[in-house]
């Protein structure tokens, strides 16, 4: 039986959110017996990134993109069974890196003796230790880092990295992922096609990944992209590259967690909050909009913040990104 304190961590949202938490989970598992409550694909990440973490999979109904508060449609049997299982574990500590009262209520219901988080809307009443958000425009990684400090964990600053993340590898193979979970985050496929040709002209190998609905476009270009069916398969494809290029979406954060320098094209979200957390990463900013960040609920027929990003602008930024790498 482990003598380490039992720590429950909640990260119930998307693949990118979970990937951002990876360094925290890795460090926490050295000092605590860590259980992670997360969506089922956490099992795939566990094998590659934090094998010492115990995963309990749970799709929280309030994380749905639409209709999250249709209580009569919630899988109450599954919800209550998960809560019962967590209560049996008798956790010493429960913690969340999110500014989310729903997490705090769930932590309180588990019966954990100590509950640590970032309070909001009076959720301080549910916590035994309240933390202060490190800044209005802080990166999500920085919230996990602040939580790490509260748990006496030494988590490096993602901007400066450590000996592993700041070492610039030779760049031979670039992996490009042209998809995203939400359509408003997808940059021009024609622009990506030009980028692939340009990189090949420069002598780089290009591994191409796309979403299912993009496959016909790439086949019309004479390309045979990979369309991963699982997070495990996606992880393997990303691991085969020396650097990653793509949209503001989960694969970019996963690539950063795998220590791949990233080049990300943004649209509706704030780069300060959500850029992939790698010290060698670079971003192309989405265009200004009075509703930004809209959290993917675009007020217009066309997401101008993304469609307004030109090919010339992207290619200029790409050249600067490539200059970081030593010549082969």
Per-residue pLDDT, 66:
82
Is 297's pLDDT higher than 70?
Answer: yes
Tokens describing residue 127? 């916590």
Q: What strand order describes the sheet that includes 54-57? A: 54-57, 33-38, 6-10, 93-96, 114-117, 129-130
- Contact 169/279 with Cβ under 8 angstroms? no
One domain, residues 203 and 124: no
- Contact 283/266 with Cβ under 8 angstroms? yes
Q: Would you say residue 51 lies in a domain?
A: yes
- As a whole number, the mean pLDDT across the chain is 94
At 130, which helix (H) or strand (E)?
strand 129-130
Q: Would you say residue 67 lies in a domain?
A: yes
- How many contiguous H segments (helices) and E segments (strands) does the chain have? 13, 11
pLDDT > 90: percent of the chain: 85
Dihedral over Cα of 72, 17, 287, 242: its sign: negative
Q: Would you say residue 142 lies in a domain?
A: yes
Per-residue pLDDT, 20:
96
One domain, residues 144 and 37: yes
One domain, residues 134 and 242: no
Dihedral over Cα of 83, 89, 90, 94: its sign: negative
Tokens describing residue 121? 């809307």
SS3 category, 184? helix
Q: Would you say residue 183 lies in a domain?
A: yes
One domain, residues 144 and 186: no
Is 1's pLDDT higher than 60?
Answer: no
Interacting residues of 51 by C-beta distance below 8 A, sequence separation 6+: none
One domain, residues 23 and 144: yes
31-35, 128-132, 181-185, 218-222: range with lowest mean pLDDT: 181-185
Band of residue 29 on the pLDDT scale cut at 50, 70, 90:
very high
Is 313's pLDDT higher than 60?
Answer: yes
Per-residue pLDDT, 268:
93
Here the CATH number for the domain that contains residue 221 is: 3.40.50.2000
Per-residue pLDDT, 2:
67
Note if the bond before 311 is cis, omega within 30 degrees. Answer: no
Is 162's pLDDT higher than 80?
Answer: no
Tokens describing residue 199? 């990189």
One domain, residues 14 and 120: yes
Task: Identify the domain containing residue 258 by its residue range.
Answer: 173-322
Band of residue 160 on the pLDDT scale cut at 50, 70, 90:
confident
Angle at 243 between CA 280 and CA 258, to 5 degrees: 80
Residue 266 to residue 249: CA distance in whole angstroms: 9
Q: Mean pLDDT across the stretch 205-230? A: 97
What global pTM score does this model have? Answer: 0.93
Domain count, the chain: 2
Residue 300 to residue 132: CA distance in whole angstroms: 35
One domain, residues 25 and 117: yes
Is 164's pLDDT higher than 70?
Answer: no
Angle at 70 between CA 65 and CA 72, to 5 degrees: 140
Per-residue pLDDT, 3:
85
One domain, residues 131 and 190: no
Q: Mean pLDDT across the stretch 293-320? A: 93
Per-residue pLDDT, 23:
95
- Contact 180/254 with Cβ under 8 angstroms? no
Question: What does 220-276 look like in DSSP terms, one character per residue?
Answer: HTT---B--SSHHHHHHHHHT-SEEEEESSHHHHHHHHTT--EEEE-SSS-HHHHS-
* Rg of the chain on CA atoms, in Å: 20
Q: Would you say residue 327 lies in a domain?
A: no
Q: Mean pLDDT across the stretch 51-75? A: 91
pLDDT tens, residue by residue, 95-139: 999 999 999 999 999 999 999 999 998 999 999 999 999 888 899
One domain, residues 183 and 304: yes
Residue 66 to residue 149: CA distance in whole angstroms: 35
Per-residue pLDDT, 100:
94
One domain, residues 32 and 122: yes
Q: Would you say residue 158 lies in a domain?
A: no
Per-residue pLDDT, 72:
87
Q: Mean pLDDT across the stretch 4-21? A: 96
Listed in sequence order, the DSSP H helices in the chain are 15-20, 22-31, 42-49, 76-89, 101-109, 140-150, 189-201, 215-220, 231-239, 250-257, 271-274, 304-307, 311-322
Q: Mean pLDDT across the stretch 177-187? A: 95
Where do we find the tokens 């793509």? 246
Tokens describing residue 65? 């993109």
Q: Mean pLDDT across the stretch 9-13? A: 97
One domain, residues 222 and 88: no
Residue 313 to residue 209: CA distance in whole angstroms: 22
One domain, residues 66 and 34: yes
Note if the bond before 38 is cis, omega within 30 degrees. Answer: no
Q: Would you say residue 268 lies in a domain?
A: yes
Q: Would you say residue 164 lies in a domain?
A: no
pLDDT tens, residue by residue, 238-249: 999 999 999 999
């Amino acid at each position: 039986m482990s003598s380490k304190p039992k720590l429950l961590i909640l990260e119930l949202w998307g693949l990118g959110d979970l990937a951002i938490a990876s360094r925290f989970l890795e460090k926490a598992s050295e000092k605590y017996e860590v259980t992670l409550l997360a969506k089922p694909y956490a099992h795939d990440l566990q094998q590659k990134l934090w094998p010492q973490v115990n995963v309990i999979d749970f799709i929280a109904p309030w994380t749905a993109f639409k209709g999250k508060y249709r209580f009569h449609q919630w899988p109450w049997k599954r919800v209550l069974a998960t809560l019962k299982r967590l209560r049996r574990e008798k956790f010493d500590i429960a913690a969340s890196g999110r500014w989310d009262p729903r997490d705090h209520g769930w932590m309180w219901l588990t019966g954990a003796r100590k509950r640590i988080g970032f309070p909001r809307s009076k959720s301080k009443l549910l916590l035994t230790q309240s933390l202060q958000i490190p800044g209005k425009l802080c990166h999500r990684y920085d919230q996990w880092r602040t939580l790490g400090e509260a748990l006496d964990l030494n988590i490096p600053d993602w901007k400066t990295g450590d000996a592993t993340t700041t070492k610039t590898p030779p760049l031979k193979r670039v992996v490009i992922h042209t998809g995203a979970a939400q359509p408003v985050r997808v940059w021009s496929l024609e622009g990506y096609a030009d980028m692939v040709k340009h990189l090949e002209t420069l002598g780089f190998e290009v591994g191409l990944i796309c979403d299912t609905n993009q496959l016909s476009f790439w086949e019309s270009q004479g390309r045979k992209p990979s369309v991963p069916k699982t997070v495990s398969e996606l992880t393997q494809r990303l691991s085969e590259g020396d650097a990653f290029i793509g949209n503001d979406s989960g694969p970019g954060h996963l690539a950063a967690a795998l220590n791949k320098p990233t080049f990300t094209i943004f649209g509706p979200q704030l780069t300060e909050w959500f850029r992939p957390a790698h010290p060698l990463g670079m971003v192309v900013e989405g265009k200004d909009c009075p509703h930004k960040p809209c959290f993917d609920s675009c007020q217009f027929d066309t997401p101008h913040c993304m469609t307004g990003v030109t090919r010339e602008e992207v290619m200029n930024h790409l050249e600067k990104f490539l200059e970081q790498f030593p010549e082969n």
